[in-house]
Structures are given as structure tokens and as C-alpha cells.
Amino acid sequence: MTMTRGLEGVVATTSTISSIKDDVLMYRGYNIQDLAELSTFEEVVFLLWNGELPTADQLSLFKGTLAENAAVPGELFTIMKMYPFDHVHPMAVLRTAVSNLAMYDPDAELMDKQSNKDKAVRIQAKIATLVAGFSRIRKGLEPIAPNKSLGFAANFLYMLKGHYPSETEAQMFDKALILHADHELNASTFTARVCVATLSDMYSGITSAIGALKGPLHGGANEQVMHMLEKIGSIEWVNDYISNALENRKKIMGFGHRVYKNGDPRAKILKTMAKKVSDLKGDSRLYDMSVKIEDLIKEKKGLLPNTDFYSATLYHDLGIDHDLFTPVFAISRTSGWAAHIMEQYNDNRLIRPRAEYNGERLRRVVPIDQR
């Protein structure tokens, strides 16, 4: 056996869902840049689950189905109101809430293709409602019911903030959801596939993926980027902060990527989006700081930003609480997780790698009275 730390470079499966080749990210063969420019999140979800972009009629039906399934059982919000808001992280809440959703789905244990697709719709539709609802509950506000007349992105911002977003805000958030929808066999997606390869249910697979995404080396990185920007405070302190961090070998979150060697294509799009939203807001402080940090890290370390870096600035300027950045990531990535789960079911083999043992060998058990 050959051991590879972190499974780097190991091909674990085949997939038709997304690919990364020559620093180009594609969903079902479509370049992510074209999808972000010319489609909506609902179209991308349909694409990931069905293999083709929808027709106008298919999209209308799909959007209606998502809207019809967006409401969540009131009991889940009742439970959330009992959580200790002084220290609980929203990702922990989301992990528990999605698991609880299974209790209210009579088809949770069904494993046929149509039942799995129906469950994917329910989870995708409800996860945005759960995140927005918890955000309001911890502020002493009541959750806002989904608005069936709004698109997925606009509806989330509406449920989160209690007023209708501007067209630009909704468009930028919609593009952000597209950019984070899938990313080949990343840590959380692999976790989901490992889980359902045992023939566990889709709710278990999504819950497992949320647990993996929670970590700061995966989805939690954008929240850490925001903590860094807050700590720096203003553009005048960027040089000193970055120089000190590098001298002390501290990791600068939001830079570098194990797969991309010449830059994350999503980061380039997000940078443009962050600039547009900061101009709309009339406050470019965070954006200007981010650009300066990018320039310094490129100069001193030769590293380029990944998707987490500019998404932090974008989400902040959209009025999203910083500890909701990773749950927002989960809202988007649920579409990819569900696609991979269904693909795993369609051609399943239990995922059971080996470990190379390097501990003590051939030890004798000494009776307890002689130890």
C-alpha cells in the first residue's frame, strides 16, 4: 500500500458533475464564468441534479417546487429559541436542524431515485429558511415566512433582513450561490459520499457534509478572513499586520488552493462582485483593504486568493452576519452535495480505504497486577 497524506492527488471516484482542469471549473461541462454570467442559481441546481440546463417551462416548474417546499416545521424554530445564543455557532445549529428535518419527512428512509430527488428539493428549499430563521431568532425577532414570489437568492435576503433586497444585491448573491454550488471532490462532498456509500439516507449525508464544511480549513475560512479584516481595521495597518503575520509564520486565510495553481477562477469573479456591491454601499474600506492584502501576499508569498477571500467582503457588504458566512456556503453547496449523493447511489460501492499502521508491534499483554 502507498500512503498519501490528505489523499492529495488520489483519484477516488469518477463523476460527471463538476471538474477542475487547467484551473477551469466546470459544472456538467459548462464554464463557471458563463454560468455566473448567464444563468441563475435555480438553473444551476437543476443542471447539477439533471445533467442539463432547464427549458423555460422546466425552470418555472422547478422554481415553483422549491418555493412550495421552503417552509419549515414550526417546531424547529421553537427548538432554536432554546439554544444558548451566547456561544452556539450557527453551523452547529444548522447541522442539528437539517438532521431534525428528517424527522418530519415521511419519505426520509426511501431510497428510490424519485424519492431521493424529492428529498433533495425539500432540503435545498428549507436550508435557506433555517439559516435566515435562526439569524432572526437569536436577535429576538420572529422568523419571516418564505415569499413564493421571489427567486431563491432574493427570498433568502428577504427572510434574513425583513425587507426586499435591491436588484443588484439579489443578483450578486445569486451569482455567489452559483460560484459555491459545487467543487468536485472537496472535503465536505467526499464526506457526504462516504456517508451515503453505506446506504445511509440523504439527510445523514447532508448533515455529515455540514459537519465537514464547518471547519476553518474548508467552509469556515471566509469567516476567518472577516476576522482578519476586522482585526486590521483600516488600510493603513495592512502592511504591518501582514508583515508581522508572515514573520511569525501565521496562516493568512483565503489564499492558496490545493488544486488551483494559477488562481481560483471563482475568486476573480467574486472580486468584481465585491467591488460592485461596495460601490453600491458607498463604502470601499473592506474592499480596498482586501485588494492591498492580495497584492502583498502575491508579492511576498506568490499566493493568489481563493473563493473564501473576496466572498467575505461581499457577504459583509450585503449585510450578512459574519458567523453566517459558512451557513450561506452550505445553502449553496447543498445543491452539489445532493447531486453527488444521488450519483453515489446510482453506482454505489462502499468507500473503505486502508490505513498504514505505524504504531507498536507484537506487544504482550501484561497482567494488571504486574503493571
201, 264, 308, 317: which is the annotated catalytic residue?
A: 308
Cβ–Cβ < 8 Å for 342, 113: yes
Residues in the chain: 371
Q: At what angle do helices 113-137 and 56-68 cross, to 10 degrees?
A: 60
Q: Strands 30-31, 24-27: parallel, antiparallel or unpaired by DSSP? A: antiparallel
Grid coordinates 476576522 are at which residue?
Answer: 227
DSSP per-residue letters across 82-94: TS-TTT--HHHHH
Active site residue 308: yes
**Rounded CA separation 134/153 (Å):** 17
* Count of C-beta atoms within a 10 Å radius of residue 98: 22
Q: Within a 10 A sphere around the Cβ of 11, how many other Cβ atoms?
A: 7
- In the 3-class helix/strand/coil scheme, how is 195-241 assigned residue by residue? HHCCCCCHHHHHHHHHHHHCCCCCCCHHHHHHHHHHHHCCHHHHHHH
User: What is the rounded CA–CA span in Å between residue 309 and residue 314?
Assistant: 9
Given 257, 264, 316, 340, the catalytic residue: 257
Contact 202, 123 (CB under 8 A): yes
**CA separation (Å) from 324 to 90, 212, 224, 319?**
7, 16, 12, 10
**Catalytic residue status for 240:** no
Angle, vertex CA 174, rays to CA 172 and CA 179, nearest 5: 95
Instruction: Tell me the Ramachandran region of residue 73: left when phi exceeds 0, alpha when psi lies from -120 to 50, beta otherwise.
Output: beta
Task: Provide the annotated active-site residues.
Answer: 257, 308
